[in-house]
Amino acid sequence: MERLKTFFIPKKYRKKQYMLQQGDVCKYIAFVEKGMLRSYQVDDKGSEHIIQFASEGWWIGDNYSFLTGLPASYDIDILEDAEVLLITQPRMEEMLQAIPSMERYMRLLMQHSLISMQRRIACTLSTQAEERYLGFIAEHPNLGQRVPQHMLASFLGMTPETLSRIRKQLLKKG
């Protein structure tokens, strides 16, 4: 583990700081040791569309920008004071060469990420709002308590009012 950490840059962020802003090139992918971050886009009407939350043990970055060197499509900001480990693309390549087991880990991580993304897209397109909320809470029981309701609603593809109504109905059901 100590050898592994030599490839990363430890960084602390305070709540409301940006790790990445849309239009900048994503120079780092971050592993979250402590805290909460989010990745999102803002549309032409000013509405936020949250793509990902990342808490302890999760990775976050704009992979397309990181791998291509093109401008980022997403903003990444800090929801809770955070401690992360940042890695650049060249250092990641060095790490994968030096520690072969990390090559497998990263491949499995990307496979899991792809599967999660496909499931989320299918869920968003084919399930009702209440089902999406219940699925999120079942899969991530602690995250719902750590992010504001309007952000959770954005992540789930619904309005804050719809989420509030769903929560109220579920409380009545017991």
- Tell me: the pLDDT tens digits for 70-95? 999 999 999 999 999 999 999 999 99
- Domain containing residue 163: 131-174
* pLDDT tier at 167, thresholds 50, 70, 90: very high
Do 96 and 169 lie in one domain? The reply is: no
What's CA 136's distance to the chain center, in Å? 14
- C-beta separation of 75 from 62 below 8 A: no
Same domain, 82 and 151: no
Both 94 and 31 in one domain: the answer is yes
Residue where the block lists tokens 């309007």 = 150
Instruction: Tell me the pTM.
Output: 0.90
DSSP secondary structure letter of residue 140: -
> For 95-123, how does the pLDDT look when each residue is reduced to its tens digit (9 = 90+)?
999 999 999 999 999 999 999 889 888 98
The yes-or-no verdict on residue 174 having pLDDT over 80 is no
Residues 6+ apart with CB under 8 A from 24: 71, 72
Mean pLDDT of 141-155: 91
